[in-house]
Amino acid sequence: MSDVKFFSGENIPLEMHKVRMVQRVYLLPIEERAKRMAEAGYNTFLLRNKDIFLDMLTDSGVNAMSENQYAAMLQADDSYAGSETFYRLESVLQDMFNMEYFLPAHQGRACEHILSRLLVTPGSTAIMNYHFTTTKAHICTLGGQIEEIIIDEGLEINSELAFKGNLDINKLNEAIARLGRENICFVRIEAGTNLVGGQPVSMQNMREVSKICRAEGLTLVYDASLLSDNLYFIKKRDGEFKDKEIIDITREIGSLMDIIYFSARKLGAARGGGILTSNKEMFLQMREMVPLYEGFLTYGGMSVREMEAMAIGLQESLDIDIISQTPIFVEVLCRELLTKGVPVVTPPGGLGCHIDARAFCSHLSQEQYPAGALAAAFFLASGVRGMERGTLSEQRNPDGSETLAHMELLRLAFPKRVFTLSQVRYVADRLAWLYENRELIGGLIFEEEPRVLRFFFGRLKTDGNWPEKLIKKFRADFGESL
């Protein structure tokens, strides 16, 4: 298996693919960008794609598929029941994780819905390294609650620790003793902590958590949506796995977990999702829910063409030349930003480059949504759409007060095999300019605030006329340049 390849020293990654189809993008003038941002209620989720230059909102469902994935789509079996496409996908997943049963679902949050209905009871607690927005919403909607026990370093912006996503073993033992195992609905490991910088989880930590869960009779659930990045980091950062095949790593993970679920919009570079287990009783209980909520058992709400593409994408996620591309591009952007003084989460994780909005906008309070304000300001300055991952992504407490996030981050996601190095450098250049002019960024105020998952479709307004001031400074510095 080949090592990651660079040229001109250690800092310039060599793409191990070539581009054979392109999509045109447009860069609107800053005045037009400001108009579109206001129309979207200063929520980057509500921007229209035609108005965006580079879309770094997410890596979910927007990855570039390979030629083999497109070719596989032509052999899809459209049968409603008993589709051969399903059995091909099932076989790939069984081989990959060495788990017996597979249930399809249309995407990751659909898997969370089924798992929550299976495991969550009112008053129960789900323990996890860190929550994801939809995971938390499903659990809380059913009357459960969450407890996060990520290691302390996982909530530090800057660290040299290789696996900041690890669960704290002492905190896990304490939580079990305090809550009582009968009151814990499940323990969840997220491979690559989405909300706190895409930081990976070590194999040793998974082994320790699995041992405790089996001794205590607790169900251990693994969110494998960001698995490909985590596999890369295990192979690169853990000497035990330097010379091991990636499929040996995935099979060991499968041996440690009771349930694995994933979004193929991330893992597999297609669209869809699924649940794996070797527990027959759990499988039979979940099987009843798939036709009710998703579709028949051999398509689960997915297009069979996407299932064929997913099967190939999953096999490709076992190739280091393929899964290395996102992490090394994230690292290149993070390192370049650090040289320009822009505060970012370190070490660079998977999924995307995470900007420390609290340090970037230190003049703003968390109640002013600094990560959301930075996302809006960066779109004005660059035409690049990022995602707020901070207090705005939380939801209010029952008394109406804010749940202040542990971190205020602007996430600039890297869809697989989508961006060029010059585009990455453009992002760094415009972020550096914005950082030099960061005092011009003001806060945001909700105008329309949904009760659940407000970051998806809530609308905000600016606290003052700071976008106009930012535009004036931009034109003074760049003239008629876009």
Active site residues: 80, 132-133, 223, 266, 389, 455
Tell me the C-alpha distance between 129 and 332, whole Å. 27
Q: Which among 452, 339, 349, 325 is positioned nearest to 409, based on CA atoms?
A: 349
Using an 8 Å Cβ cutoff, are 130 and 148 in contact? yes
Burial of 96 (0-12, 13-18, 19+ CB in 10 A): buried
Token readout for 101 is 């049963």
Phi/psi zone of residue 421: left (φ > 0), alpha (ψ -120 to 50 degrees), beta? alpha
260: helix, strand or coil? strand
DSSP string, 359-404: HHTTTS-GGG-HHHHHHHHHHHHHSEE-EEESGGGS---TTS----
Cα 268 to chain centroid distance, Å, stands at: 14
Task: Tell me: cis bond preceding 398? Omega within 30 of 0 counts.
Answer: no
- Cβ contacts of residue 301 below 8 Å, gap of 6+? 104, 105, 106, 110, 294, 295
- Cα-Cα-Cα-Cα dihedral of 7, 9, 13, 17, to 10°? 20
Handedness of CA 320, 323, 325, 329 (dihedral sign): negative
Token readout for 137 is 């919403």
Cα 82 to chain centroid distance, Å, stands at: 32
Residue 439, amino acid: E
**Residue written as token pair 């091991």:** 244
DSSP string, 458-472: -EEEESSSHHHHHHH
Tell me the C-alpha distance between 168 and 129, whole Å. 8
